[in-house]
Amino acid sequence: MEAVIKSVKIAGMQAAVPTHRHSYVDTPDIFTQEEANKIFASTGIHSRRILPSHLCASDMCIAAAQTLLQRLDWPPETIDILIYVSQDSDYALPATACLMQHRLGLPQSAACLDVSLGCSGFVYGTWIASQLLNSSNGKRALVLCGDTSSRHLLPDDRGTLPLFGDAGVATALEYDENWPDSYAVFGTDGTGGQHIAVKAGGRRNPTMPGLSSRSRDEEQRLYKESRLYLNGAAVFSFTLKVVPKLVKDALLLAQLEVDDLDMVVMHQANHFILEHLRKKVKVPGDKYLIDMKDFGNTSSASVPLAICHQLSDFFTKETKKVMLGGFGVGWSWGAIITDIGPIVAPEIIEINDDFEALSLIQQ
C-alpha cells in the first residue's frame, strides 16, 4: 500500500531509557570471551538497557513525552491525538493510551489508541497519526513507541539474550498546511508470523489460571512459549527479500533517487543485517545510520532512538530529507520519506528506578 501524507511535520523527538545496563560480555557463565567477540562483530551490540520489573514501557514513553512537551513549550491541552505503539501494554484492557491521556494531562477531547506492532511500529504510528490530523480539526499529535523486549527472553537463550533492550520514545507531529508532502509505503505477510513470536499469553494460547491446576509439564510449556522465539535465518532472508523493494518503491513514489536523501534510518535489527541491506540498496555509509552498540534492538523505538542518540544536531539548523523504515515481526514493513528540521535537538534521558509509575487501576 502507498500513501501520500500532506501537511504534517515532525516537530520533535525525545527518548527515555533505563539506567540499568547489561552486556553479554559480563555473563561468562553463558558466553566465553571468544563467543562474546563474535557476537559483537556480527550484531554490533555490546550492551542493552533493562527496565526494572516494577516499571512498564509506558513509563519510559511518559517520561519522554513529558520532557518533549516541555522542550517544545507545548501545553498538554493542545495535544489532539495520542498513538501508543507497543507490544507491551500495561494491562490486557483498557488500552494503555487511555491511561496515558490522563497521566500526561491531555484534554478529554483527544483521540487516543494503542497500536500493537513491533519493528515497523514507528513508521505505522507516524502514518496513522498524520492521517488522523489530516482528516480532523486536530493540530498536534504524539506518537509514543516503547517496548520492554528484554522481558520476553529466556535467561539462558543464547540466540536472543544479547540482542534486545528496552526503550521508549516520543515523537511530536504538527499540522502545517505549508509543509511538503511525505511519502509512505507499507506491506504485510502474515505467513512470517511464526518466525518472531511469543506464542503464549493471548487468547489463542492463554496463560490465565483456570479452575483446575495445570500439570508441571503444562506449566513448563507455557513458561517457554511466553518467551520470545526468533528464527534468525528466516529474519535475514525476509529482510533481504522485502526491504530492498520497500526502499525502491518508496523512492519511486517520492520520485527521488538514493542520492537525493540526506539520511536513511532503518529499524536497528543488528549490524550484520543492516550492512547487507545497505550494500544491496547502495546507500553510502555516511548516509546510513547503524546505531545499536549501547541499546540493542529496541523494537518499535529503535528508529527514533537511533536518531536521538546519533543525530542530535543533524536536524537543528536546516531541513533534511530522510527515509525512515521498519521491518520485522508480523511480517510487517513500512517506510516513510519525509523532511525533518529545523527542530529542537533530539535527546535521550535516563529514568531512575523511582520514576512515578502511576497506575489508575486498583492493584
Convert the pLDDT of each residue in 89-101 to its tens digit.
Answer: 999 999 999 999 9
> What's the pLDDT tens digit per position in 219-235?
888 888 889 999 999 99
C-beta separation of 168 from 15 below 8 A: yes
pLDDT digits (tens, 9 = 90+) for 83-129: 999 999 999 999 999 999 999 999 999 999 999 999 999 999 999 99
148 C-beta neighbours (distance < 10 Å), count: 26
pLDDT, residue 363, reads 42
DSSP string, 241-309: HHHHHHHHHHHHHHT--GGG-SEEEE----HHHHHHHHHHHT--GGGEE---TTT-B-GGGHHHHHHHH
Q: Which domains does the chain have, with CATH numbers?
A: 2-191+231-351 (3.40.47.10), 196-225 (no CATH)
Q: What are phi and psi of 342, to 5 degrees?
A: -70, 140
pLDDT band at 141 (very low <50, low <70, confident <90, very high): very high
The confidence score (pLDDT) of residue 358 equals 57
Task: Please check the confidence at residue 212 and state whether its pLDDT lies above 80.
Answer: no
* Listed range (161-170, 172-181, 214-223, 241-250) with the worst mean pLDDT: 214-223
* Least-confidence region, from 45-54, 58-67, 348-357: 348-357
Work out the average pLDDT over 197-216: 86
Q: What angle, rounded to 10 degrees, do the helices at 271-281 and 33-43 form?
A: 30
Radius of gyration of the chain (CA): 20
Mean pLDDT of 321-344: 98
pLDDT band at 45 (very low <50, low <70, confident <90, very high): very high
Q: Report the relative pairing of strands 21-22 and 48-49 from DSSP bridges.
A: antiparallel
- Confidence (pLDDT) at 99: 97
Residue 359 pLDDT > 90, yes or no?
A: no
Question: With bands split at pLDDT 50, 70 and 90, how would you rate the model's confidence at 161?
Answer: confident
**Structure-block grid coordinates of residue 262:** 540526506
Q: Could you read off the pLDDT of 188-201 as tens digits, one per residue? A: 999 999 999 999 88
Under 8 Å between Cβ of 59 and 357:
yes
Query: 96-104 vs 57-72: helix axis angle to the nearest 10?
Result: 40
